[in-house]
C-alpha cells in the first residue's frame, strides 16, 4: 500500500475519489495531463493495493475508495504512530530525568 501511495498521481487520484465519490476512469483521466492508459495503470496499482475498487457500469468502469483497504492502512499507521509517540515520550522522560540530575 505504501508503495502505491509513493506516487503523486496516485495520491491525487485518491484525493479526487475522496472529494467527489465514485468516478469513471474517463472522468478521472480528464483531471490529469498524463494519458488515459497511464491513469489506467495508476488505477491498477491502486486496485492491487486494495485502496480503490472498481465496478462495471455499462461500458464504463467506475472507481471508488476501498473502505476495507483504507481501514487496513489506517490501522497500520495508527499502530506505527503509537510506537513512535511512546518512544518519543520515553526519550523526553529520560532527558528530563538527566536534566534534573545535573541541576
State the SS3 of the chain: CHHHHCCHHHHHHHHHHHHHCCEEHHHHHHCCCCCHHHHHHHHHHHHHCCCEEEEEECCEEEEEECHHHHHHHHHHHHHHHHHHHHHHHHHHHHHHHHHHHCC
Residues 26 and 41: their CA atoms lie apart, in Å, by 13
User: Do residues 46 and 12 touch, judged by C-beta distance below 8 A?
Assistant: no
User: Which range, of 5-14, 31-40, 44-53, 75-84, averages the lowest pLDDT?
Assistant: 75-84
> Each residue of 19-37: pLDDT tens digit?
999 999 999 999 899 999 9
Claim to verify: residue 6 and residue 49 sit in the same structural domain: yes
- Would you state the cell numbers that stand for residue 91, as one nine-digit string? 526519550
Claim to verify: residue 13 and residue 54 sit in the same structural domain: yes
For residue 50, give its domain range.
2-65
> Each residue of 85-102: pLDDT tens digit?
777 887 888 888 888 777
Domain total of the chain: 2
Claim to verify: residue 34 and residue 71 sit in the same structural domain: no
Is pLDDT of 42 > 90?
yes
pTM, entire model: 0.75
Longest dimension (CA), the chain: 75
Claim to verify: residue 28 and residue 58 sit in the same structural domain: yes
Is pLDDT of 103 > 70?
no
Claim to verify: residue 58 and residue 87 sit in the same structural domain: no
Claim to verify: residue 36 and residue 59 sit in the same structural domain: yes
Residues 41 and 35: their CA atoms lie apart, in Å, by 10
Claim to verify: residue 71 and residue 102 sit in the same structural domain: yes
Q: Provide the CATH number for the domain around residue 42.
A: 1.10.10.10
Amino acid at each position: 500500500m505504501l508503495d502505491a501511495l509513493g506516487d503523486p498521481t496516485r495520491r491525487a487520484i485518491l484525493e479526487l475519489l475522496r472529494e467527489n465519490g465514485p468516478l469513471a476512469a474517463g472522468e478521472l483521466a480528464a483531471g490529469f495531463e498524463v494519458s488515459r492508459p497511464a491513469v489506467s495503470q495508476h488505477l491498477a496499482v491502486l486496485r492491487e493495493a486494495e485502496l480503490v475498487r472498481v465496478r462495471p457500469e455499462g461500458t464504463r468502469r467506475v472507481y471508488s475508495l476501498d473502505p476495507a483497504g483504507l481501514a487496513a492502512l489506517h490501522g497500520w499507521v495508527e499502530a506505527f504512530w503509537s510506537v513512535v509517540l511512546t518512544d518519543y515520550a520515553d526519550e523526553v522522560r529520560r532527558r528530563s530525568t538527566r536534566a534534573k540530575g545535573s541541576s
